[in-house]
Amino acid sequence: MDENSEAIEAILRGEEESSKIKNDDEYGWKTVSYQKRNNRKQSTKPPPEAFSDPQKVSHDVFQSIEQQSEDRRRRLLEAQREAAVAAGGGGEAKLDGEDDGEDNGENVGGAEEVKKVKAKKPKKPKVTVAEAAARIDDSDLSDFLADITVSYESQQDILLMRFADYFGRAFASVGASQFPWAKTLKESTVAKMIDIPLSHISEAIYKTSTDWLNNRSFEALGSFVLWSMDSILADLAIHHGAAKGSKKVVQQSSTKSQVAIFVVLAMTLRRKPDVLISLLPIIKENPKYQGQDKLPVTIWVITQACQGDLVVGLFMWVHYLLPMLSSKSSCNPQSRDLILQLVERILSTPKASRILVNGAVRKGERIVPPSALELLVRATFPAPSARVKATERFEAVYPTLKAIALAGSTGSKGMKQTTQQILQFAVKAAGEGVADLSREASTIFIWCLTQNLDCYKQWDDLYLDNLEASVVVLRKLAAEWKEQSLNHFSLEPVKVALTSFKKKNEKALATEEDATRLASFKEAQKHCNVLLGRLSSSHGCMKGMVLVSVALAVGAAAVVSQNMQSSELKKVLVDFDFLNLMS
């Protein structure tokens, strides 16, 4: 390299001298120089004749440099090919420090590094849920279930896990992009999410699976449902972590296919929906299953149970989802819409009203208990300023839900307890001063009186503390007495209660100083007098009807038997309490 440098420098000097003598801008280098300085340098420089052919010298020098560069490039290419063959891949690698084949300098110590080229992995073919489901063979599934049933007959938990593993292998080739369940549930209506993903499962596979599930123990199925829900919620947590973007979330590869988990859980809930009710205490108390982000999963789970038993679906809605609607902090408009969609879907099912009213009491527990009825009443009849878009939707479903809440056997022990509980909240709602709410609450209050005569005693105890509500009820009874009197089994408890109210009113009118309460007592006294008067007239009419009936009965008896003694006739009258009526 030193010899080459000296030769290049000599060429440049020769070109400089040539340009000074010829003053030719077309060849050589153009330089600016001072004559005195050049004269001093000429004594030490060789004569120009020594470089009579500069083009030849320049050509030889650069040819040598280019030859070295070409040799180095050739050696590099050979080394790259050998490295690529050893790594099992093809392609060419670039030398560190090179750019487009030009040598930018030599590495320290002459060492040159070659980058390894990674071989591209072949892409796996995408498999849809429908394609994977179509490959499941019913006979193979039947044989598999028969084999594991024999092998693990006494180990129900293992049986169910093996059942899930079978579908896990069947759907293992379905990628997350082909089953974006979290996004699908979040964006779907209740009507669309019901058949996810069972719409792809054939009837034969579904029947074989559900028949087998029907023979599994109730406890094992409960544990299996919880395990399946936990798997889904764990995957949901990964989705939410990745969506937040605050930190990079590394998704661990799961051995469980999410498609399979949804499939086996849906089949279990449809075949054994009662399992979900048994898990309700756990779901309500464990924060793992709570939160608006998990609501679409909860809705999907309940819809699967609805497909098996409509009563179970409504039970879960009333006991778990309805309380969310009354909480402003835990229910936004989107969540409220989804919850109402579910109950609308349940009630729109053919013959839903008859099915739900007949199943109003399930294993001693009411589907719509008094506490739930109170929530429904307040949501359906709010103050005018508190009405929201969802109020109209409550008004649409309220009549059916109210009928379910009030259904039961009149006079039964359970019905007596229910009416007393309902009356307790109805008397408060009737006195709150909201017109629509008072009207509906007073209607429910009077219904309690007709179903359970003991409610009159309860009303008597609540009378003074709930004066405004009592006035509303008395006013309604007075206005509708003709219809309401027909709904009472006996009018005697009504008379006793009104007499007690009248005495309390008279006492309060003599001592009460508050003008508002004084006016309420006066109105209550007026309605009591009207009702007692109507009861007296009704009693007189009843006595007249009884006398006519007795006369007809006695006449008929006389015709039938002329030998009946007066003592015997008197005995008949006593047995039917006719003598007291005639007095």
pLDDT for 253 = 38
Interatomic CA distance for residues 94 and 465, integer angstroms: 94
Of the pLDDT bands very low, low, confident and very high (cuts 50, 70, 90), residue 411 is confident
Interatomic CA distance for residues 294 and 289, integer angstroms: 7
Amino acid at 119: A
Q: Which residues partner with 102 through β-bridges?
A: 99
pLDDT for 543 = 44
Query: Which of the pair, 533 or 95, is modelled with greater confidence?
Result: 533
Question: DSSP letters of 533-577?
Answer: HHHHHHHHHHHHHHHHHHHHHHHHHHHH-TT--HHHHHHHHHHTT
Contact assessment for residue 190 and residue 338, using Cβ atoms and an 8 Å cutoff: yes
Query: Which of the pair, 2 or 221, is modelled with greater confidence?
Result: 221
Q: Which of 85-99, 195-209, 446-460 is the least confident region?
A: 85-99
pLDDT for 335 = 93
Run of H or E residues at 361? strand 361-362
Share of the chain above pLDDT 70, in %: 71
Amino acid at 416: K
Q: Which of 13-17, 161-165, 262-266, 510-514 is the least confident region?
A: 13-17
Question: DSSP letters of 241-298?
Answer: HHHH-SS---PPPPSS-HHHHHHHHHHHHHH-THHHHHTHHHHHH-GGG-SGGGHHHH
pLDDT digits 0-9 by tens, 468-526: 999 999 999 999 999 999 998 899 999 999 999 999 999 999 999 999 999 999 999 99
Strand 365-366, strand 361-362: pairing: antiparallel
pLDDT for 74 = 80
CA distances from 543 to 497, 536, 539, 548, 581 (A): 22, 11, 6, 9, 6
* Matching residue, tokens 């010899």: 3
Of the pLDDT bands very low, low, confident and very high (cuts 50, 70, 90), residue 554 is very low
243 alpha-carbon distance from chain centroid: 18
Q: What is the mean pLDDT of residues 286-307?
A: 95
Q: Which residues contact 495 (CB under 8 A, 6 or more apart)?
A: 532, 535
pTM for this model (two decimals) = 0.72
For 324, the 3-state DSSP assignment is helix
pLDDT digits 0-9 by tens, 42-96: 444 444 444 444 444 444 444 555 676 677 778 877 877 777 666 654 444 444 4
The per-residue pLDDT of the chain, averaged, comes to 81
Interatomic CA distance for residues 379 and 387, integer angstroms: 9
Interatomic CA distance for residues 66 and 60, integer angstroms: 10
Q: What backbone torsions phi and psi does residue 300 show, to the nearest 5 degrees?
A: -60, -45
pLDDT for 550 = 43
